Amino acid sequence: MQSPDFEKLYNACYMRVYAYALSLCKDPPLAEELTQHAFFKAMLSSFKSTSEEFTWLCAIVKNLWYDELRRRKKRGELSESLTDDSLGVEEHLVEQETILRIHLILSELEEPYAQVFSLRVFGELSYKEISALFGKTESWARVTYHRARIKILQRLEE
Protein backbone atom coordinates (compact mmCIF):
# COMPACT_ATOMS: atom_id res chain seq x y z
CA MET A 1 0.00 0.00 0.00
CA GLN A 2 1.36 3.43 -0.89
CA SER A 3 2.38 5.70 1.97
CA PRO A 4 -0.11 8.61 1.42
CA ASP A 5 -2.99 6.14 0.95
CA PHE A 6 -1.99 4.25 4.07
CA GLU A 7 -1.80 7.44 6.12
CA LYS A 8 -5.33 8.37 5.01
CA LEU A 9 -6.55 4.88 5.88
CA TYR A 10 -4.87 5.05 9.28
CA ASN A 11 -6.35 8.45 10.09
CA ALA A 12 -9.82 7.45 8.88
CA CYS A 13 -10.08 4.05 10.53
CA TYR A 14 -7.79 3.94 13.56
CA MET A 15 -10.35 4.76 16.27
CA ARG A 16 -13.02 2.45 14.85
CA VAL A 17 -10.55 -0.43 14.52
CA TYR A 18 -9.25 0.26 18.03
CA ALA A 19 -12.84 0.26 19.38
CA TYR A 20 -13.45 -3.09 17.71
CA ALA A 21 -10.22 -4.52 19.16
CA LEU A 22 -11.16 -3.21 22.60
CA SER A 23 -14.58 -4.83 22.35
CA LEU A 24 -12.87 -8.16 21.69
CA CYS A 25 -10.18 -8.14 24.36
CA LYS A 26 -11.49 -5.64 26.97
CA ASP A 27 -7.88 -4.56 27.61
CA PRO A 28 -6.87 -1.07 26.33
CA PRO A 29 -3.11 -1.72 26.01
CA LEU A 30 -3.73 -5.04 24.24
CA ALA A 31 -6.37 -3.42 22.00
CA GLU A 32 -3.85 -0.76 21.01
CA GLU A 33 -1.26 -3.44 20.30
CA LEU A 34 -3.72 -5.46 18.18
CA THR A 35 -4.71 -2.32 16.28
CA GLN A 36 -1.12 -1.31 15.59
CA HIS A 37 -0.24 -4.84 14.49
CA ALA A 38 -3.27 -4.92 12.18
CA PHE A 39 -2.24 -1.67 10.49
CA PHE A 40 1.31 -2.95 10.19
CA LYS A 41 0.09 -6.16 8.52
CA ALA A 42 -2.18 -4.09 6.28
CA MET A 43 0.74 -1.91 5.25
CA LEU A 44 2.75 -4.99 4.26
CA SER A 45 -0.03 -6.65 2.28
CA SER A 46 -2.28 -5.59 -0.54
CA PHE A 47 -5.93 -4.73 -0.07
CA LYS A 48 -8.41 -6.76 -2.09
CA SER A 49 -11.41 -4.65 -2.95
CA THR A 50 -13.96 -7.39 -2.20
CA SER A 51 -14.81 -5.63 1.07
CA GLU A 52 -14.38 -2.25 2.71
CA GLU A 53 -10.98 -1.36 4.13
CA PHE A 54 -12.43 -1.06 7.65
CA THR A 55 -13.94 -4.54 7.39
CA TRP A 56 -10.63 -5.88 6.12
CA LEU A 57 -8.79 -4.32 9.09
CA CYS A 58 -11.36 -5.76 11.53
CA ALA A 59 -10.84 -9.20 10.05
CA ILE A 60 -7.08 -8.81 10.62
CA VAL A 61 -7.71 -7.72 14.23
CA LYS A 62 -10.06 -10.65 14.79
CA ASN A 63 -7.43 -13.11 13.52
CA LEU A 64 -4.74 -11.49 15.67
CA TRP A 65 -7.05 -11.75 18.70
CA TYR A 66 -7.68 -15.44 18.00
CA ASP A 67 -3.91 -15.96 17.73
CA GLU A 68 -3.48 -14.24 21.10
CA LEU A 69 -6.17 -16.44 22.66
CA ARG A 70 -4.44 -19.55 21.34
CA ARG A 71 -1.10 -18.36 22.80
CA ARG A 72 -2.74 -17.70 26.16
CA LYS A 73 -4.42 -21.09 26.13
CA LYS A 74 -1.09 -22.78 25.40
CA ARG A 75 0.53 -20.93 28.30
CA GLY A 76 -2.41 -21.78 30.53
CA GLU A 77 -3.22 -18.15 31.30
CA LEU A 78 -6.70 -17.32 32.47
CA SER A 79 -8.30 -14.10 31.31
CA GLU A 80 -8.73 -11.52 34.02
CA SER A 81 -12.31 -10.66 34.83
CA LEU A 82 -13.35 -7.07 34.40
CA THR A 83 -14.78 -5.41 37.45
CA ASP A 84 -17.17 -2.51 37.58
CA ASP A 85 -16.91 -0.70 40.90
CA SER A 86 -20.23 1.09 40.36
CA LEU A 87 -22.12 -2.20 40.79
CA GLY A 88 -22.89 -3.73 44.14
CA VAL A 89 -21.54 -7.18 44.94
CA GLU A 90 -24.85 -8.95 44.22
CA GLU A 91 -25.42 -7.08 40.96
CA HIS A 92 -21.86 -7.78 39.88
CA LEU A 93 -22.22 -11.49 40.61
CA VAL A 94 -25.54 -11.70 38.76
CA GLU A 95 -24.09 -9.80 35.80
CA GLN A 96 -20.99 -12.00 35.74
CA GLU A 97 -23.13 -15.15 35.92
CA THR A 98 -25.31 -13.94 33.04
CA ILE A 99 -22.27 -13.01 30.96
CA LEU A 100 -20.73 -16.39 31.68
CA ARG A 101 -23.96 -18.17 30.69
CA ILE A 102 -24.14 -16.17 27.44
CA HIS A 103 -20.53 -17.01 26.62
CA LEU A 104 -21.14 -20.68 27.36
CA ILE A 105 -24.21 -20.63 25.13
CA LEU A 106 -22.19 -18.86 22.42
CA SER A 107 -19.48 -21.53 22.63
CA GLU A 108 -22.13 -24.19 21.98
CA LEU A 109 -24.09 -22.21 19.39
CA GLU A 110 -23.59 -23.33 15.83
CA GLU A 111 -21.89 -21.08 13.31
CA PRO A 112 -22.48 -18.54 11.89
CA TYR A 113 -24.91 -17.58 14.67
CA ALA A 114 -22.28 -17.33 17.41
CA GLN A 115 -19.87 -15.27 15.35
CA VAL A 116 -22.53 -12.91 13.97
CA PHE A 117 -23.94 -12.34 17.46
CA SER A 118 -20.46 -11.67 18.88
CA LEU A 119 -19.55 -9.28 16.09
CA ARG A 120 -22.81 -7.37 16.48
CA VAL A 121 -22.94 -7.22 20.29
CA PHE A 122 -19.32 -7.33 21.43
CA GLY A 123 -17.70 -5.99 18.28
CA GLU A 124 -20.40 -3.36 17.75
CA LEU A 125 -20.23 -3.86 14.00
CA SER A 126 -23.04 -2.78 11.73
CA TYR A 127 -25.00 -5.30 9.71
CA LYS A 128 -23.30 -3.96 6.60
CA GLU A 129 -19.85 -4.63 8.08
CA ILE A 130 -20.85 -8.11 9.25
CA SER A 131 -22.27 -8.97 5.84
CA ALA A 132 -19.04 -7.83 4.20
CA LEU A 133 -16.97 -10.04 6.53
CA PHE A 134 -19.04 -13.08 5.54
CA GLY A 135 -19.53 -12.12 1.91
CA LYS A 136 -23.31 -12.20 2.35
CA THR A 137 -26.14 -9.68 2.11
CA GLU A 138 -27.04 -7.20 4.81
CA SER A 139 -30.43 -8.86 5.26
CA TRP A 140 -28.65 -12.20 5.82
CA ALA A 141 -26.68 -10.57 8.65
CA ARG A 142 -29.87 -9.16 10.20
CA VAL A 143 -31.73 -12.47 10.02
CA THR A 144 -28.75 -14.45 11.33
CA TYR A 145 -28.32 -12.04 14.26
CA HIS A 146 -32.04 -12.17 15.05
CA ARG A 147 -32.06 -15.98 14.99
CA ALA A 148 -28.95 -16.12 17.17
CA ARG A 149 -30.57 -13.77 19.67
CA ILE A 150 -33.70 -15.95 19.83
CA LYS A 151 -31.60 -19.10 20.33
CA ILE A 152 -29.61 -17.47 23.12
CA LEU A 153 -32.74 -16.18 24.89
CA GLN A 154 -34.37 -19.62 24.67
CA ARG A 155 -31.29 -21.28 26.17
CA LEU A 156 -31.06 -18.65 28.91
CA GLU A 157 -34.64 -19.42 29.92
CA GLU A 158 -33.91 -23.17 30.20
Q: Is pLDDT at 10 greater than 70 in this prediction? A: yes
What are 119-145's pLDDT values in tens digits? 888 777 888 888 888 888 999 999 999
Long-range contacts of 144-151 (CB under 8 A, 24+ apart): 144/112, 144/113, 144/116, 145/116, 145/117, 145/120, 147/113, 148/109, 148/113, 148/114, 148/116, 148/117, 149/117, 151/105, 151/109, 151/113
Q: Report how far residue 11's alpha carbon sits from residue 4's, in angstroms, rounded to the nearest whole number.
A: 11
CATH 3.30.1330.10 fits 1-80, yes or no: no
pLDDT of residue 79: 44
Domain 83-158 adopts which CATH fold? Arc Repressor Mutant, subunit A (1.10.10)
pLDDT of residue 34: 93
In the chain, domain spans? 1-80, 83-158
Q: Report how far residue 46's alpha carbon sits from residue 87's, in angstroms, rounded to the nearest whole number.
A: 46
pLDDT of residue 1: 46
What are 39-98's pLDDT values in tens digits? 888 877 766 655 678 888 888 888 898 888 888 777 775 444 433 444 455 454 556 667
CB 130 within 8 A of CB 117: no
138 exposure class (CB count in 10 Å sphere: 0-12, 13-18, 19+): middle
pLDDT of residue 48: 60
